[in-house]
Amino acid sequence: MAGADDMGGPKVKAEISDHTKVSSGRKLSSPMNPAFITSAPGKVIVYGEHAVVHGKAAMAAAISLRSYLLVTTLSKSQRTISLKFPDIRLNHTWEIDKLPWSIFANPSKKKAYYDLVTSIDPDLVEAMQPYLSTVSPDLSGEKKKIHQAAASAFLYLFLSLGSQAFPGCIYTLRSTLPIGAGLGSSASISVCISSALLLQIRALSGPHPDQPSKEAETQVERINRWAFVGEMCIHGNPSGVDNTVSANGKAVLFKRGDYAKPPKVLPLRNFPELPLLLVNTRQPRSTATEVAKVGALKTALPEVTELILEAIDRVTESAHALITTSGFSHVDASTTQTLGSLMNINHGLLVSLGVSHPRLERIRELVDLVGVGYTKLTGAGGGGSAMSLLKPDVHPEKLKELKTKLDAEDFERFETTLGGDGVGVLWPAVLRGTEVNLADFLSAEGSDGIEELVGSGPHEPDGEWKYWKVAEAG
C-alpha cells in the first residue's frame, strides 16, 4: 500500500468537499439500514517473520493503531457503490447493475460465505479488469498501483459476497496506521471490508456480550477467511498471519505449512499488554522483493539458510513457552529482559538473511545508545518499521531524548501497546450519543482526529463498540 508520507495532509482536506458533494441530495442510511462502522487493528510480527513463509511459526500481536470502515446505505434509486479512502486520495464509484455479476454468480465460480478460498480465480480477476482500469486514471506508477490493489480487493470481495440486488452504498475507509510500513495496514483494511460485507448479507451473528465463545470463534474465522482473499488480491501470496491477528486480536502463534489447508493458529488470548515504540523508517520497500531475497538465498545456500530459519523458529517457540508459563508476569523486569534478548537474537538472524536496511540499523543504534529498550525490525524488512520493547520504569527524560533524536532524522514514531482487541463493530454508527456522519468521518484530521471521532480504544467509555470475544481454552 502507500507510503506513510502519503497519508493525510492538505490534499486530503482539499478533497473533502469533493467527497461530500457525492452524497449531497441523497438519502443516506435509513433506520432499517443504519450506517455502521467496522474496525480492525494493525499488527507487528513480534517473532518469526520470513521464517513463517517457509513453514515455521511466527508470533504476531495486535497493536492499538486501527483502520475504520464506515458503511452508509443509499436510497433504493441510487444504484451505485463508492469506495472512498481519503488517506491515499482514492475515490471511485461503480454502477452496481453494470458489474460482472454473471461470471461471479456462475455455479462453477460462486463461493459460499462459509467456504475456505485459498486462491484467486484468474477468470474472475480478468472479468474485473474493465472495472478497475477506470480507477484513478490520472495517476501513474506506484500510486496508481496502490489504488488498483485496494480497489481490486474491495471489488473481488463485493462481487463474491454480494449480489446484484445489493443496495447502493458508500464504503469510506480511514486508518490510523501508517500505510506501507510493515504494520499490517492492508490486512486491517481487508478485515474491515470482509466483516462489513458479511454483516450486510447477514452471515454473521453477534457480537454481543452473551455470545458463546465457540460461536464467536466461528464468526471471527469466517471474517478471517475472506480477509485472506482480500490479502491475496493485494499481495499475491501472503502468509496469512497479518489478517489472522487483525481478525482475532491479542496475539497468535501462527504456522502455515500447506496453503491448501487452513493455517495452524494458536490464539494467545492471555497475551499481556506490553508498551512499544514503533518507528517507521519512511523507507519504501516491497514485501515480495524481500521474500524473494530469502527464497534466492535458500536456493543458493539451502543448508545454511534452513539453519537460520530453524533458529528463528526456536526463538519464536522460546518466547511462546515463556508467555504461556504458569505464573508468567509481564511486569517482572527479568521477563522483559528475556523477551527483549529474544528480539535482539531474532533481529540478528534476519540481518543474516539480508532483509535489514541501514535506516533500520540506525533506529537500533539510537535506541541502544539511549538504553531504553530492545529493538528489531518487524515485517518484511528492507525498510518499513522497527519495534522497540520498552524497558520497565524507563525515565521520561531518556524517552524524550530518544524521540528528539528520531525526529531529527525524519523517522515517524508511534507509542502503542500490544495485545488489544481484534475486529469490532459499531452498529449503528452512534458513539457517545452522537451519530458519526460521513462528512465528519471524511474531515477528521490525522490519527488523533480519527480516534477522537470513532476511537474504539480503552478510552471509549460506553461500551458501544462490540467485539467477538473468544475465551482462553482450559
Catalytic residue among 18, 87, 210, 242: 242
Of the candidates 147, 51, 106, 137, which has an alpha carbon nearest to the alpha carbon of residue 347? 51
Give the E-state strand segments of 11-115 in sequence order. 36-47, 58-73, 80-85, 90-95
Please state, in angstroms and rounded to a whole number, the distance separating the CA atoms of residues 380 and 382.
Answer: 7
Instruction: Please name the helix (run of DSSP H) or strand (run of DSSP E) that holds residue 275, with its range, or none.
Output: strand 275-280
Q: Please indicate whether residue 242 is annotated as part of the active site.
A: yes
Of the candidates 255, 190, 250, which has an alpha carbon nearest to the alpha carbon of residue 224? 190
Contact yes or no for 32/74 (Cβ under 8 A): no
Q: Locate cell 479512502: which residue?
A: 85
* Paired residues of 368 in beta bridges: none
In a 10 Å sphere around its CB, with 0-12 CB exposed, 13-18 middle and 19+ buried, how is residue 393 labelled?
Answer: exposed
How far CA 278 is from CA of 1, 113, 273, 374, in Å, comes to 18, 36, 15, 12
In a 10 Å sphere around its CB, with 0-12 CB exposed, 13-18 middle and 19+ buried, how is residue 151 labelled?
Answer: buried
In a 10 Å sphere around its CB, with 0-12 CB exposed, 13-18 middle and 19+ buried, how is residue 234 labelled?
Answer: buried
In a 10 Å sphere around its CB, with 0-12 CB exposed, 13-18 middle and 19+ buried, how is residue 186 labelled?
Answer: buried
Q: DSSP code of 181? A: S
How far CA 114 is from CA of 161, 219, 280, in Å, comes to 10, 10, 37
Residues annotated catalytic, as ranges: 242
